[in-house]
Amino acid sequence: MKSQKILVTGAAGFLGSHLCDTLLAEGHTVVGLDNLSTGNHANLAHLANEPSFSLIEQDICKPFDPGPVDYIFNFASPASPVDYTRLGVETLLVGSAGTINTLDLARKYNAGYLHASTSECYGDPEVHPQVETYWGHVNPIGPRSVYDEAKRFSESAVTAYHHYYGVDTHLVRIFNTYGPRLQANDGRVISNFMIQALRGEPLTIYGDGSQTRSFCYVSDLIEGIVRLSRSSEHLPVNIGNPVEWTILECANEILSVTGSKSSIERKPLPQDDPTRRRPDITKARNLLGWEPKITLRQGLEKSLQYFKDCTA
């Protein structure tokens, strides 16, 4: 497709930085935007001399205008339990005021728009696997609610701007993703286990380890997101790996990949922690011709050196 000027909010984050790489490789000009509350300059250090990339340090909750753009990818938000617990009000604001500000930009410049939503919209699901038509089972005042409800509101806002103003919007519901640049201390399963295993510390499992997750390698996820951005679909689309792992199985796979002799340590299950999580990706397969290619074993091997460097 022709070269575009693309705005990526949350550009210094895990997913945002990988998205910038993909868009630049396609020949686009990318304006990254991040307030660096959870993003990291190191994720973009390799783009320091890239003439087609620029970074603006900006909070999207405050009005801003980078000038005309052809497309907006809104990836700004704390995403890890550690971050959204620490920045609860900020998480609510970025999902509401921040999302509205970016939608207003898309409306002003007649730009395409894709919003990064989350499988957390399904909460602790009563439907399994999770299909996009399921409305979810979310505690609106629980410890995870600042993230869950921020994303649920932002989906409503994005949908409203499409219905009322004709903005060309897209919604991706992202399931557990991992790979290089994932924060080492972000409280998520893969990063926790990899760091603990490489340090020889006990791997912390909450509950009995029978709860499930589905893990998608970052390059697979970004490919699905880019395909969705070029589709005519305006309703949410799940992008994730449909292969379901128990937390205990994941821990054992990581012990195998790292060669670690770490033991398993069990702690109480946190409140509202989902017991099952697996995407139904029928819509992504049919609509986008997309499905993940990289197995958990392959992805962990691809990520190993990054996590080794984090522990050095």
Active site residue 147: yes
Where would I find the beta strands (DSSP E) of the chain? 5-9, 29-34, 53-57, 71-74, 112-118, 169-174, 177-178, 203-206, 212-214, 216-217, 236-239, 244-246, 264-267
Considering the candidates 71, 147, 178, 217, report the single residue annotated as catalytic.
Answer: 147
Q: Which long-range contacts (CB under 8 A, 24 or more apart) does 127-132 make?
A: 128/276, 128/278, 129/242, 129/244, 129/278, 129/279, 129/280, 130/238, 130/277, 130/278, 130/279, 130/280, 131/238, 131/280, 131/282, 131/283, 132/173, 132/235, 132/236, 132/237, 132/238, 132/280, 132/283
Q: What amino acid positions are annotated as catalytic residues? A: 147
